[in-house]
Amino acid sequence: MSTAAVKLSATVKEKSPAAEKAPWNYRSNGYLLLKILLTVSGFIIAIGVNIFFPQKAAVEIKEYILSIFGLNISLNMNDLYILLLAALGIYYLAAGLRAWSDKDRRKKFCKNAAFRFALGLALTVWDIGGTKLQVFAQPFFPGPAQVAEAYLADGEYVLQNTLYSLRLYAAGFSCGVLLGVGTGILIGWFPKVYYWVFPVLKITGVVPAVAWMPFALTLLPNSFTAAVFLIVICAWFQIAFLTAQGIQSTPKQSYEAARILGSSSVDLIFHVAIPHAMPDIFTGITSANAMAFTTLVMSEMLGQPGGLGYYINQSKVWSAYYKVLAAIVIMAVLFSLINHIIGRIQKHTLRWQEGVLKK
């Protein structure tokens, strides 16, 4: 048998129904159940260690009274930490059960199960080293339960600063996206605009947005509009540059075909150039999102009366590093959520790419 025939035979075997129903394939229910158990067990281990591992280090465990739906509930940092771990475990359990009848979700869930188990183990080690024994340098590396205590001690204040950050980010980033896409379309479509505006874009775009802060604080009426301006600047360059690149790279054959079908210049822009540039536009938006979030935090640290960056500065003054880490956790969650929303919008907008691009 030739080498080509052997390869063909191996390929057929790999794609055969028997291979798909193998007991250790992600398509089998037993394999999925094993991955669900692996995922949840990491958080169960973290909960068990927090409950049964003795508290050796001298850590003050305060009780906080929370009023929820008219009921007064007493919680300490360990109680909240256990509740958060249980919530994560239940969430991933529900995600695993949801993936039962969905091939793509099942494959993704099984692929990430080992990482989730490792996350539970990492939280366990962090809890032992940071809270139970405090072998890590204190107060710089408090345990996860101590970080959770910040939400009990400053819950309302943390929420106020989170909402301030979201308001500032929404105002700056939305304006930056609109300005960047608009500028990019003009630069990519009109040669005269490209001649006059593109050099300005290249010169100003490479300058870090924070470098403009002294001018923004001096020329604009208040610190909020100054921070919005900085976020707009950092988002504008990236989005405008990639939008213009996408417009200019549209094949001439597409324009000629559209003209044959009777399209006007406006139709060429909105029905040919912009759809072709959409992948580049979303690449620019995704890249600009990270830069805008960084600029947001830096502007809050340097001159805002609120926000998560302001809260970090305030906590650092009092060496309350568990509050600093609590704010960082919220930032990570918010940034991941915003990225997820952008990704869902991109997937819906570019759904025509499914089956065309390699996954």
Residues 35 and 109: beta-carbon distance below 8 Å: yes
pLDDT for 12 equals: 43
State pLDDT tens for residues 6-35: 444 444 444 444 444 444 566 677 888 999
Identity of residue 28: S
pLDDT > 50? residue 74: yes
State pLDDT tens for residues 156-170: 999 999 999 999 999
**Structure-model confidence comparison of residues 5 and 126, the more confident one:** 126
* Residues contacting residue 113 through CB under 8 Å, at least 6 positions apart: 35, 36, 38, 39
Residues 330 and 164: beta-carbon distance below 8 Å: no
- How big is the CA angle at 95 (ends 89 and 96), to the nearest 5 degrees? 90
Burial class (CB in 10 A: 0-12, 13-18, 19+), 101: exposed
pLDDT for 20 equals: 44
Name beta bridge partners: 74: 65
Structure tokens at 355: 């089956």
pLDDT for 317 equals: 86
State pLDDT tens for residues 263-298: 888 889 888 999 999 999 999 999 999 899 889 988
pLDDT > 60? residue 306: yes
| Kind and range of the H or E run holding 168 | helix 155-189
Domains and CATH numbers, the chain: 22-135 (no CATH), 156-353 (1.10.3720.10)
pTM over 0.85: no
pLDDT > 70? residue 355: no
pLDDT for 24 equals: 54
Angle at which helices 223-248 and 191-205 cross, to 10°: 130
Residues 307 and 223: beta-carbon distance below 8 Å: no
**Can you list the positions of beta strands (E) in the chain?**
64-68, 71-75
Residues 76 and 63: beta-carbon distance below 8 Å: yes
Closest-CA residue to 46 (of 143, 113, 141, 112): 143
pLDDT > 80? residue 3: no
Identity of residue 102: D
pLDDT for 254 equals: 87
Q: Report CA Rg, the chain.
A: 26
pLDDT for 255 equals: 87
**Which of 3-17, 177-191, 253-267, 342-356 is the most confident on average?**
177-191
pLDDT > 80? residue 187: yes
d(CA 55, CA 143): 12
**Which sign, positive or negative, has the C-alpha torsion 214, 217, 223, 226?**
negative
Using pLDDT thresholds of 50, 70 and 90, give the confidence band for residue 357: low
State pLDDT tens for residues 48-72: 999 999 999 888 888 888 877 778 8
Mean pLDDT of the chain: 87
pLDDT for 40 equals: 94
pLDDT for 81 equals: 95
